[in-house]
């Protein structure tokens, strides 16, 4: 048996051919490089962006994790939390309570919301902005306090004055302009006053049974599994509400999750588009070398020898292209903040993305080899007689589908290998089995459909042309006939164009839907001023007063709150539940409101909202439902004053924004609560510049109503959402542009097929204009078919993935129509560009090469 060609010899032959055909292999290199560059740049920049973005999200909590209690932790619990320091976890404690405060020289005290912190540690993240500015440890000590501007208005005080709290005097050292964790720590029952933890103990305000909330803030080292640490804290503090930094704001959490999923999809699109370009280029190259390969077989080379040569050549091209792509991608990542400046409001700290670089390099080589398998396996079909016949492949007419399957069984197997490989890469790159699975399913379905469509369409086209040949203009007839000429690449071009259109439009549709969802979840009109403790007799006068003030955007939203507690759940008394580690604060003090219909900015996650006002149903937040282990159908008995209210759970919902009704844990039908005494809360959106004046007007008219200004926090959230949308738009555009370049090159790779055809037509007297018209018709039909099918599958894949991400799918018929039209224009334009040099060649120049 003849020995196989040594790998070293195959390597030398492959390198020799590469050196001799540098221009031909340039496209392969560029296809790999563009795909890898997009993958490296998008993934690297998105990781840097997400790190910076999550840093801002941490600032809204002032920590990585927080645990909230309505009592201090036991010594055993504190010891368990302190033990976390062995793993690098830092901890600090804040305590909140209410008290009366009085300015020296002002006889009327007011109710304030006290917050005690450790100035040396608080906050772990975010900025506590003070006026006058200065480091927190210097401004806050055992003799000073920091206050809201609202307190100065109410007490007619200023910085430097003395404030009496709990029988002790403190100097007002600064005004709190912005408190990073104001929303997550609660809006409180009065103007904020911040003091040291030590002095809160000295005042004696917190005693056994006092109304106080305790928050333990944790800062964890990089690489820590946040979810695992959160679960451990829930075991240590079963009564606590444990949250991580991603749960500080619902719209922000959704934005981060959706942006991560979309950026992963963009990385996948960049990878596959580059691989499509490589596969098309290698197919064109091997078909150009068909005579050379036949000669090699004539002199004794086996198919395995030739496969070995071109496999090594493919790996070399993939490695070279991947290396070039990595350099381009890293350069793009570092150039983005400089080139686009203000368009990227968030300035992430860029580092060399070792992980994305290695992933992109390996992915570039792997996808190059995978997508080159089918054309490489075609080498087995080449016969030495091709040298004598001087013909290209003639297809499988007359053999039937069974013969075609036997002839192409290895190619079909290689397609399965490609899909399996892409599925694995998709899961790895997206860090999501869901995205990777549906991405692979949609891509496989598209390719199968395109192959069937190509076969059926070409058969139908041939049949129609036979019947209407005489009635059609010759240019149109010739252009359509080109689609099924011997050796045509219609199926391959349809697959490449259709897959590219699907992927590119999917990116657009997903980013379009996600951006619309972000805007809907975090609109600029979210309430930024909350009014606390409004009496029922003050409500109408308050509404009229607010409506007359400048800078009020939208309507005043008011919500009644009835305080009560839970007597039993599913027949189990509250005392028994508390002994079974149910959160005590969720049982003994609950806020209830009433509504005849679903509250605004809420999403029902289980059950159905009631339609009758005579029902005994109740709706509650999904977090509380999870902690109390209740579901639709569970019974809950409430007690408010001397009234007992028996209900059963009908609805579990989640809130999308911050509203006054967020202070209510439960929503009941109006007839159950209206007879009971209630305290009203309100919220509204006010121009930030008008808030100080509004505070003064409200205090003059209603001194007992507390105004809580959270405009700075909501501005931070709005800015983060804006940054998410800008980066989503930009990276999607970058991926789409890369895809268009690769698709245009894929069309251009069919150029060599047209050389002999142009020679024949010119020899028969065809003008350059007529040849260009024939080619334009052929490319337009390919572009129209591929565009239509690609748009259809893009709609399917986008809707599936968005549904799994719980994002409403926003149809864009304009984008779909424009995509089809643009694909036709792209196919025709690139076909002309690729054929322009061919059209100028003289027939004799080509015939001499024969």
Identify whether 238 is preceded by a cis peptide bond (ω within 30 of 0). Answer: no
Asked whether the predicted pLDDT for residue 146 surpasses 90, the reply is: yes
Kindly indicate the confidence band of residue 704, based on its pLDDT and cuts at 50, 70 and 90.
confident
Helix (H) or strand (E) holding 648: strand 643-655
212 phi, psi to nearest 5 deg:
-150, 145
Asked whether the predicted pLDDT for residue 348 surpasses 70, the reply is: no
Largest CA distance in the chain: 112
List all residues 6 or more positions away from 840 whose beta carbon is below 8 Å from its beta carbon: 768
List all residues 6 or more positions away from 807 whose beta carbon is below 8 Å from its beta carbon: 258, 513, 514, 517
* pLDDT tens digits along 591-626: 888 888 888 777 888 888 888 777 889 999 888 888
For residues 252 and 244, give the distance between their C-alpha atoms in angstroms, rounded to a whole number: 13
Q: What percent of the chain has a predicted confidence (pLDDT) above 70?
A: 66
For residues 39 and 332, give the distance between their C-alpha atoms in angstroms, rounded to a whole number: 11
182 or 244, which is more confident: 244
Kindly indicate the confidence band of residue 144, based on its pLDDT and cuts at 50, 70 and 90.
very high
For residues 296 and 298, give the distance between their C-alpha atoms in angstroms, rounded to a whole number: 5
Q: Tokens at residue 462, please?
A: 């041939």
The mean predicted confidence, pLDDT, of the chain is 75
Kindly indicate the confidence band of residue 735, based on its pLDDT and cuts at 50, 70 and 90.
low
Average pLDDT over residues 728-746: 61
Q: Tokens at residue 469, please?
A: 């040949």
Asked whether the predicted pLDDT for residue 354 surpasses 50, the reply is: yes
Q: Tokens at residue 788, please?
A: 């239509």
Helix axes 768-804, 433-468, angle to 10 degrees: 150
How many Å from the N-terminal Cα to the C-terminal Cα in the chain?
A: 36
Lowest mean pLDDT, pick from 33-42, 243-252, 742-751? 742-751
Cβ proximity of 62 and 87 under 8 Å: no
* C-alpha distances in Å from residue 123, one per residue of 66, 137, 349, 501: 12, 11, 21, 48
Cβ proximity of 442 and 791 under 8 Å: no
705 phi, psi to nearest 5 deg:
-90, 130
Q: Tokens at residue 787, please?
A: 């565009």
Asked whether the predicted pLDDT for residue 396 surpasses 50, the reply is: no
Kindly indicate the confidence band of residue 397, based on its pLDDT and cuts at 50, 70 and 90.
very low
Cβ proximity of 681 and 531 under 8 Å: yes
Which is it for strands 129-131 and 168-178: parallel, antiparallel or unpaired? antiparallel
For residues 175 and 799, give the distance between their C-alpha atoms in angstroms, rounded to a whole number: 49
Asked whether the predicted pLDDT for residue 138 surpasses 80, the reply is: yes
Asked whether the predicted pLDDT for residue 391 surpasses 50, the reply is: no
Residue 528 per-residue DSSP state: -
List all residues 6 or more positions away from 413 whose beta carbon is below 8 Å from its beta carbon: none
Asked whether the predicted pLDDT for residue 214 surpasses 90, the reply is: no
For residues 162 and 69, give the distance between their C-alpha atoms in angstroms, rounded to a whole number: 31
258 or 752, which is more confident: 258
* pLDDT tens digits along 609-668: 888 777 889 999 888 888 888 889 899 999 888 889 899 999 998 876 666 666 678 999
Q: Tokens at residue 308, please?
A: 């070995």
Which is it for strands 643-655 and 635-640: parallel, antiparallel or unpaired? antiparallel
Asked whether the predicted pLDDT for residue 296 surpasses 50, the reply is: yes
CA neighbours within 13 Å on the CB side: how many for 734?
A: 29
Asked whether the predicted pLDDT for residue 549 surpasses 50, the reply is: yes
DSSP E strands, 70-197: 90-103, 110-117, 129-131, 144-147, 162-165, 168-178, 192-196
Cβ proximity of 345 and 723 under 8 Å: yes
For residues 256 and 244, give the distance between their C-alpha atoms in angstroms, rounded to a whole number: 13
Which is it for strands 666-668 and 590-594: parallel, antiparallel or unpaired? parallel
For residues 322 and 105, give the distance between their C-alpha atoms in angstroms, rounded to a whole number: 75
Cβ proximity of 738 and 524 under 8 Å: no
Asked whether the predicted pLDDT for residue 125 surpasses 80, the reply is: yes
Query: Highest-confidence range of 83-87, 508-512, 517-521, 574-578, by mean pLDDT?
Result: 83-87
Query: Highest-confidence range of 36-45, 143-152, 202-211, 250-259, by mean pLDDT?
Result: 143-152
List all residues 6 or more positions away from 593 whose beta carbon is below 8 Å from its beta carbon: 559, 560, 561, 562, 661, 664, 666, 667, 668, 673
Asked whether the predicted pLDDT for residue 347 surpasses 80, the reply is: no
Average pLDDT over residues 68-90: 84
Q: Tokens at residue 243, please?
A: 């949250």
Residue 818 per-residue DSSP state: H
Which is it for strands 617-621 and 643-655: parallel, antiparallel or unpaired? parallel
Q: Tokens at residue 188, please?
A: 């409180």
- Among left, alpha and beta (phi > 0; psi -120 to 50; other), residue 398 is left
Kindly indicate the confidence band of residue 281, based on its pLDDT and cuts at 50, 70 and 90.
low
Cα-atom radius of gyration of the chain, to the nearest Å? 35
Average pLDDT over residues 228-245: 84
* C-alpha distances in Å from residue 361, one per residue of 54, 235, 663: 27, 43, 51
The per-residue pLDDT for 409 is 67
The per-residue pLDDT for 145 is 92
The per-residue pLDDT for 807 is 76
């Amino acid at each position: 048996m003849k020995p196989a060609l040594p790998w070293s010899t195959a390597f030398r032959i492959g390198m020799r051919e590469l050196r001799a055909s540098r221009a031909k292999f340039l496209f392969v290199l560029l296809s790999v490089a563009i795909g890898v560059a997009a993958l490296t740049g998008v993934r690297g920049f998105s990781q840097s962006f997400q790190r910076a973005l999550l840093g801002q999200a941490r600032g809204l909590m002032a920590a990585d994790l927080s645990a909230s209690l309505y009592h201090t932790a036991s010594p055993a619990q504190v010891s368990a939390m302190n033990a976390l320091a062995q793993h690098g976890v830092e901890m600090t404690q804040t305590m909140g309570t209410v008290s009366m405060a009085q300015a020296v020289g002002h006889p009327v005290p007011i109710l304030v919301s006290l917050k005690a912190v450790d100035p040396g540690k608080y906050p772990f993240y975010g900025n506590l902005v003070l006026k006058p500015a200065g480091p927190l440890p210097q401004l806050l000590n055992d003799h000073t306090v920091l206050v809201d501007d609202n307190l100065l208005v109410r007490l007619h005080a200023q910085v430097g004055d003395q404030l009496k709290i709990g029988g002790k005097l403190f100097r007002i050292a600064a005004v709190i302009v912005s408190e990073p964790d104001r929303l997550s720590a609660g809006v409180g029952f009065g103007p904020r006053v911040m003091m040291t933890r030590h002095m809160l103990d000295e005042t004696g305000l917190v005693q056994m049974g006092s109304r106080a909330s305790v928050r333990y803030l944790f800062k964890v080292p990089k690489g820590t599994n946040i979810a695992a640490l959160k679960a451990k804290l829930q075991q240590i503090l079963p009564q606590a509400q444990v949250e991580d930094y991603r749960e500080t704001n619902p719209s922000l959490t959704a934005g981060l999750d959706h942006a991560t999923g979309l950026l992963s999809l963009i990385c996948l699109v960049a990878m596959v588009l580059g691989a499509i370009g490589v596969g098309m280029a290698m197919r064109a190259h091997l078909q150009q070398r068909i005579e050379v390969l036949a000669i090699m077989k004539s002199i004794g080379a086996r198919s395995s020898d030739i496969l070995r040569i071109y496999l090594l050549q493919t790996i070399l091209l993939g490695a070279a292209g991947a290396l070039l792509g990595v350099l381009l991608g890293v350069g793009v990542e570092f150039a983005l903040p400089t080139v686009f400046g203000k368009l990227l409001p968030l300035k992430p700290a860029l580092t060399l993305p070792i992980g994305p670089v290695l992933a992109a390099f390996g992915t570039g080589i792997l996808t190059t080899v995978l997508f080159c398998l089918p054309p490489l396996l075609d080498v087995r079909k080449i016969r030495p007689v091709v040298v004598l016949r001087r013909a290209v492949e003639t297809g499988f007419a007359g053999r039937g589908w069974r013969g075609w399957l036997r002839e192409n069984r290895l190619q079909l197997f290689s397609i399965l290998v490609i899909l399996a490989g892409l599925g694995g890469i998709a899961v790895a790159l997206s860090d999501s089995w869901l995205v990777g699975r549906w991405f692979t399913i949609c891509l496989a379905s598209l390719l199968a459909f395109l192959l069937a469509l190509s076969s059926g369409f070409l058969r139908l086209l041939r049949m129609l042309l036979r019947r209407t040949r005489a009635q059609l203009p010759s240019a149109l007839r010739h252009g359509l006939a080109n689609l099924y000429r011997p050796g045509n690449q219609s199926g391959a071009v349809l697959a490449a164009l259709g897959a590219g259109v699907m992927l590119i439009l999917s990116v657009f549709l997903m980013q379009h839907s996600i951006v619309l969802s972000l805007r809907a979840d975090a609109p600029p009109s979210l309430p930024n001023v909350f009014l606390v403790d409004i009496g029922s007799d003050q409500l109408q006068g308050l509404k009229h007063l607010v409506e007359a003030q400048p800078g009020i955007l939208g309507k005043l939203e008011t919500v009644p709150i009835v305080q009560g507690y839970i007597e039993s759940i599913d027949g189990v008394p509250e005392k028994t539940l508390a002994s079974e580690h149910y959160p005590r604060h969720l049982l003994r003090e609950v806020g209830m409101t009433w509504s005849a219909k679903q509250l605004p900015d809420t999403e029902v996650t289980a059950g159905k909202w009631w339609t009758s006002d005579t029902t005994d149903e109740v709706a509650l937040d999904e977090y509380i439902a999870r902690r109390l282990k209740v579901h639709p159908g569970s019974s809950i008995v409430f007690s408010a004053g001397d009234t007992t209210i028996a209900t059963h759970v009908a609805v579990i919902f989640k809130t999308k924004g911050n509203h006054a009704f967020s202070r209510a844990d439960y929503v009941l039908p109006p007839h159950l609560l209206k007879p009971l005494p209630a305290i009203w809360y309100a919220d509204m959106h006010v121009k930030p510049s008008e808030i100080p004046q509004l505070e003064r007007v409200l205090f003059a008219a209603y001194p007992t109503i507390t105004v809580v200004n959270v405009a700075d926090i909501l501005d931070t959230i709005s800015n983060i959402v804006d940054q998410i949308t800008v980066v989503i738009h930009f990276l999607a555009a970058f991926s789409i542009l890369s895809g268009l370049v690769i698709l245009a090159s894929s069309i251009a790779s069919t150029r060599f097929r047209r050389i002999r055809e142009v020679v024949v037509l010119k020899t028969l007297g065809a003008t350059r204009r007529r040849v260009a018209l024939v080619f334009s018709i052929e490319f337009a039909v390919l572009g129209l078919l591929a565009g239509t099918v690609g748009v259809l599958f893009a709609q399917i894949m986008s809707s599936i993935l968005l549904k799994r991400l719980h994002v409403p799918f926003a149809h864009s018929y304009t984008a779909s129509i424009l995509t089809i039209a643009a694909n036709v224009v792209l196919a025709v334009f690139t076909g002309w560009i690729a054929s322009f040099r061919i059209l100028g060649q003289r027939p004799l120049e080509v015939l001499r090469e024969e």
